[in-house]
C-alpha cells in the first residue's frame, strides 16, 4: 500500500462510532446538568424560599368534601405538596409519577388543585391521570400563600413546616424521589 492508497480524512471519520466516551462526553453531561439546575433556579425564583415556614392550610378533600389540614408539626417526616391545574398538560404528564411516591410511609403526598372553575374538571383530571393520593381543592388564597405562579409547582416540607425544596415544571419520579429523600 503506498501513500496514495491511505484513506482520506472524510473516509476515516465516517467509520468512527457515533458514541465515544471520553472527556468531551463528561463535559457535555456537566453542561446539560448545569443548564437544568439554572432553569430550575430561574423557574422557582418567585416561590417561597428554602427554610421559610410553610403556610398551614385547611382545605376540602376532592372526593368527600370533608376538610383536610396541612399543619406543622406533621406526623410524616416530609410532605410533598404538588400544585396543579386541571387544564395543565405538563401536570397531566407528570402527575401519574406521584403514585410511585405514595407508598412511602415517611412521606405524605398531597396534590392541591388550583385555577379550577368546576369541581368536575378536577375529578375528571384525577380520574384520567390515575393519581391515587390525597387531593385537596385549593383557592386563590392558597395560590397566593404558596406563591404559585405556574404549574406544576411543588414544595418539599419537613416535619416542622420548613421548606426544604421548591420547584416548578416537569419533574420525573426519580427527580421527585431524590428531592423528597435528600
Domain containing 15 equals: 9-43
Pair 104, 130 in one domain: yes
Instruction: Residue 92: give its domain's CATH number.
Output: 3.40.30.10
pTM: 0.78
The residues, ordered by sequence, that sit 6+ positions from 103 with a Cβ below 8 Å of its Cβ are none
| 104 and 21 belong to one structural domain | no
85: CB partners within 8 A, 6+ apart: 91, 113, 114, 115, 116, 151
**Is 50 within the bounds of a domain?**
no
Rounded mean pLDDT for each run of 10 residues along the chain, 182 residues in total: 55 58 78 76 76 95 92 92 97 92 89 97 97 96 95 95 92 84 78
- Same structural domain, 119 and 65: yes
Asked, for residue 32, whether it belongs to a domain, the answer is yes
pLDDT of residue 58: 96
CA 72 to chain CA mean position, Å: 22
Domain membership flag for residue 4: no
pLDDT tens across 76-127, in order? 999 999 999 999 999 999 999 999 888 888 999 999 999 999 999 999 999 9
17 with 107, same domain: the answer is: no
Amino acid at each position: 500500500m503506498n501513500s496514495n492508497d491511505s484513506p482520506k480524512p472524510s473516509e476515516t471519520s465516517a467509520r468512527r462510532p457515533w458514541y465515544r466516551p471520553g472527556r468531551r462526553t463528561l463535559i457535555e453531561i456537566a453542561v446539560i446538568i448545569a443548564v437544568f439546575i439554572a432553569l430550575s433556579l430561574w423557574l422557582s425564583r418567585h416561590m417561597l424560599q428554602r427554610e421559610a415556614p410553610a403556610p398551614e392550610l385547611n382545605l376540602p378533600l376532592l372526593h368527600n368534601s370533608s376538610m383536610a389540614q396541612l399543619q406543622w408539626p406533621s406526623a410524616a417526616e416530609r410532605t410533598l405538596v404538588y400544585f396543579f391545574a386541571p387544564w395543565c398538560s405538563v401536570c397531566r404528564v407528570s402527575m401519574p409519577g406521584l403514585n410511585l411516591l405514595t407508598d412511602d410511609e415517611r412521606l405524605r403526598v398531597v396534590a392541591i388543585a388550583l385555577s379550577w372553575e368546576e369541581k368536575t374538571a378536577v375529578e375528571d383530571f384525577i380520574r384520567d391521570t390515575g393519581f391515587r393520593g390525597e387531593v385537596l381543592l385549593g383557592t386563590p388564597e392558597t395560590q397566593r400563600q404558596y406563591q404559585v405562579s405556574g404549574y406544576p409547582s411543588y414544595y418539599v416540607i419537613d416535619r416542622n413546616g420548613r421548606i426544604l425544596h421548591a420547584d416548578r415544571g416537569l419533574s420525573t419520579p426519580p427527580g421527585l424521589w431524590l428531592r423528597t429523600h435528600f
